[in-house]
Amino acid sequence: MENYYFSVVIPCYNEEKNLRMGALGRVASYLKRRKFPREVIVVDDGSTDRSAKLISQFVKNHPGFSLLKNSHQGKAAAVITGMLKARGKYILFTDLDQATPINEVEKFLPYFEKGSDVVIGSRNTRREGAPILRLAMARGFMALRSLILGLRGITDTQCGFKAFKREIAQNLFKKLKLYSQKINVKGSTVTAGFDVELLFLAKKLGYSIIEVPVTWHYVESKRVNLLKDSWEGFWDLVKIRLNDIRGLYD
């Protein structure tokens, strides 16, 4: 099995607009300037538009890029699929819309070289363009996180820009419970509990987590339903606590 220094995992669901606007091209351009062996895995989550076809065409012309196809199971399942397939020494998952530009990973790599296990992006001081209601939701979710799970010391669990040592990723992503089972979902999904469970488990297992400020630009998303997503996020926190009490993370 060929190994890489760096892997990038990108989930995709109905991202035709961003693909046509050159999102993957920006990733390719950055990586071309870096000389280390790398791979990019794009995981299509059963898109109903032309996303998969556009990615397939892109992959043919860009060595090091590959496409994995999932049935539609949600973003969390797409990320898990890609992370368990990745072969890099260090593995990053990031959003296709590049709200956090791929070059922000430059800030992460030195921490890995110093021995960190998990390095995550933080938008707390740089949430450019985010609506006031979204910011208020983030603060409320942070308070619930601390109250229900005691997850302190991490200010932004939800930034979709996280990187792991490969052996750490393999262990963590195999132990996740909330979104590890294959399910059928409808439409776009926002799975707040996925990132929280991931970091809760990392802390529980004693892995070192470094939070690094990153540039982030708000991108309007049809995936967000404030009331529904807030309620589901709350119940995800409760489920994580119950899983922990039952010893499912041991």
Q: pLDDT per position in the chain (250 positions), as tens?
A: 558 999 999 999 999 999 999 999 999 999 999 988 999 999 999 999 999 999 999 999 999 999 999 999 999 999 999 999 999 999 999 999 999 999 999 999 999 999 999 999 998 654 555 556 566 666 677 788 888 998 888 989 989 999 999 999 999 999 999 987 766 676 666 678 999 999 999 999 999 999 999 998 866 555 556 667 777 888 999 999 999 999 999 8
Strands 209-213, 118-122: pairing kind? parallel
**pLDDT value for 107:** 96
DSSP 125: T
**pLDDT value for 192:** 80
Q: Look at the alpha carbons of 85, 88, 94, 95 in this order and tell me if their dihedral is positive or negative.
A: negative
3-class DSSP assignment, residue 178: coil
Greatest pairwise CA separation for the chain in angstroms: 49
**What are phi and psi for residue 119, nearest 5 degrees?**
-125, 125
DSSP 26: H
CA dist., res. 202 & res. 153, Å (int):
13
Which tokens belong to 34?
């870096």
Q: Options 1.10.150.20, 1.10.8.420, 1.10.3720.10, 3.90.550.10; which CATH number does 4-245 get?
A: 3.90.550.10
CA dist., res. 182 & res. 247, Å (int):
22
Show the CA angle centred on residue 232, arms to residues 226 and 235, nearest 5°. 140
Residues ≥6 apart with Cβ < 8 Å to 245: none
Strands 161-165, 38-45: pairing kind? unpaired
